[in-house]
Each structure stands twice: as structure tokens, then as C-alpha cells.
């Protein structure tokens, strides 16, 4: 599973945010080039239906492999939850990464407790649909590349490792754009066997492209 490339990080609403930046397009191309260099092939590539996810999947330029769409890979409704948090608890939209880290912790805690809501889905519904798609494909003998978002990836890792909600914000802000994350069945359990790897960006001349926001 990979996170999408860098999006319009300065946006304060979903519509403005949901598109790759120029760097985001480049990150996707570099990841696709890396797969070609190591002769990594896949049986399927699946992306959520968000624009930034679809643009990333296309940017990988994996030949002869159509992009499938599955909305279960969509990101949580961050902007909707952030707006509800501001309206109910006067927590403003963050203007620094440090405040974003604090806000994410509050959003996850209050969402789980039912203190804030999203018109898209409940906290339980979000977790149920991402667990469903991971469990579904983990049981198949296929090499599947999924293109999703940080909230989805962080939540899967947190669930598998039983990370308390109060600490899950650390996972949210540690997943770089187009990083690679692998989930595999081992001893009857689904485990994260690779987390936030960026071999395509680890070259010195590309360190500037290792972005989080």
C-alpha cells in the first residue's frame, strides 16, 4: 500500500486539497520508475476514488495494468471533522504542523467518543471498511498495490499493533507521500511487515521530496 503523492497542502477544504502538487506528480513517477528498476510487478492496482489517489495511481505508469477503484480506500473526512470540531469546541484549523498533530489527536478521540461527527461516515464505519478491504485481499494469492491516504494507512497499522487512540496521531504524521507499506498474513495474523519505506526518494538529490504535508 502506498500513500498518494503530495497534494495541495495549503488548502483548507477538501475540493482545494484534492489534487496533486507538481512535486506529488513527480513522486508518483519516481515510485513507478523504482518498481520498473527492481522488476516489481503486481497482479492488481487499486485506488480510492479521490482525485489525488487516482492521479497517483496513473502517475505510476504501470503498463498493462488497469487501475481499479474502491471507495473503501478513501481517506477519512478530515475537513468535515475539523469543521465540526471548530464549531462545537472552538478548536481552529491548524496553521503549523505542531498544531496539526494536536488537532488530529483531538479529532480521533472526539470522533471515537461521538463528540464530533462527519456526514460521510461514523468512526466505526470508517474502521470497518478499511479492515474489510485489507482482510479481503490479504487472503488472496495476489500481489496487490493499493493507493490510499495517511489516515487509512495509519489506522490499519494502529489497529494491528493495538496503538491507543491518544498516540495514533504519531502514525498519521509519520507516513510520507508515496511511501510503501506492506501488510501480510503471518501465523494467521495480518501484520505490517513494512512501514513508510521510501527507496525511490532516499537518494541525496531527492531528499527534498520526502514530504509529509
pLDDT at residue 11 tops 80 = no
pLDDT tens per residue across span 162-191: 999 889 888 988 999 999 999 988 877 788
pLDDT of residue 8: 87
Give the per-residue pLDDT at 185.
Answer: 81
Per-residue model confidence (pLDDT) at position 138: 86
| Separation CA 5–CA 21 (nearest Å) | 8
C-alpha cell at 42: 503486481
Phi, psi of 74 (to 5 degrees): -65, 155
Total tally of structural domains belonging to the chain: 1
Average pLDDT over every residue of 65-73: 97
Average pLDDT over residues 143-165: 94
Domain extent, residue 75, equals 2-182+189-209
pLDDT of residue 189: 79
Q: Is 180 exposed, middle or buried (0-12, 13-18, 19+ CB in 10 A)?
A: buried
CATH number at 202 reads: 3.40.50.1240
Closest by Cα among 8, 22, 21, 26 to 201: 26
Tell whether pTM > 0.75.
yes
Mean pLDDT of 106-131: 96
**195-209: per-residue pLDDT in tens?**
999 999 999 999 999
- Is the pLDDT at 96 greater than 90? The verdict is no
pLDDT tens for residues 15-25?
889 999 999 99
The pLDDT, as a whole number, for residue 95 is: 86
Chain centroid, CA 210 distance in Å: 15
Q: How far apart are CA 61 and CA 115, in angstroms?
A: 43
Mean of all residue pLDDT scores within the chain: 94
Task: Tell me the C-alpha distance between 157 and 206, whole Å.
Answer: 27
Burial class from Cβ neighbours inside 10 Å (0-12, 13-18, 19+) for residue 147 reads buried
The confidence band for 12, taking pLDDT boundaries of 50, 70 and 90, is: confident
CA dihedral over 206, 199, 144, 193, signed as positive or negative = negative
Q: What was the pLDDT predicted at 10?
A: 75
For 29-48, what is the mean pLDDT? 97
Q: What torsion do the CA atoms of 164, 168, 169, 175 make, to the nearest 10 degrees?
A: 160
Amino acid at each position: 500500500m502506498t500513500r498518494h503523492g503530495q497534494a495541495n497542502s495549503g488548502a483548507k477544504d477538501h475540493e482545494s486539497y484534492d489534487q496533486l502538487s507538481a512535486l506529488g506528480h513527480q513522486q508518483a513517477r519516481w515510485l513507478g520508475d523504482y518498481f520498473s528498476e527492481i522488476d516489481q510487478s503486481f497482479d492488481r492496482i487499486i485506488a480510492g476514488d479521490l482525485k489525488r489517489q487516482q492521479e497517483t495511481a496513473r502517475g505510476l505508469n504501470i503498463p498493462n495494468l488497469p487501475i481499479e477503484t474502491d471507495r473503501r480506500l478513501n481517506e477519512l473526512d478530515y475537513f468535515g471533522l475539523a469543521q465540526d470540531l471548530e464549531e462545537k469546541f472552538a478548536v481552529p484549523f491548524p496553521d503549523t504542523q505542531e498544531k496539526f498533530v494536536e488537532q488530529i489527536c483531538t479529532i480521533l478521540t472526539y470522533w471515537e467518543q461521538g463528540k464530533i461527527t462527519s456526514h460521510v461516515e461514523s468512526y466505526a464505519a470508517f474502521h470497518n471498511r478499511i479492515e474489510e478491504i485489507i482482510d479481503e485481499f490479504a487472503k488472496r494469492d495476489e500481489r496487490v498495490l493499493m493507493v490510499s491516504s495517511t489516515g487509512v494507512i495509519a489506522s490499519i497499522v494502529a489497529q494491528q499493533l493495538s496503538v491507543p487512540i491518544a498516540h495514533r496521531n504519531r502514525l498519521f504524521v509519520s507516513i510520507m507521500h508515496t511511501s510503501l507499506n506492506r501488510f501480510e498474513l503471518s501465523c494467521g495474523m495480518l501484520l505490517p511487515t513494512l512501514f513508510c519505506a521510501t527507496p525511490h526518494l532516499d537518494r541525496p538529490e531527492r531528499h527534498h521530496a520526502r514530504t509529509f504535508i
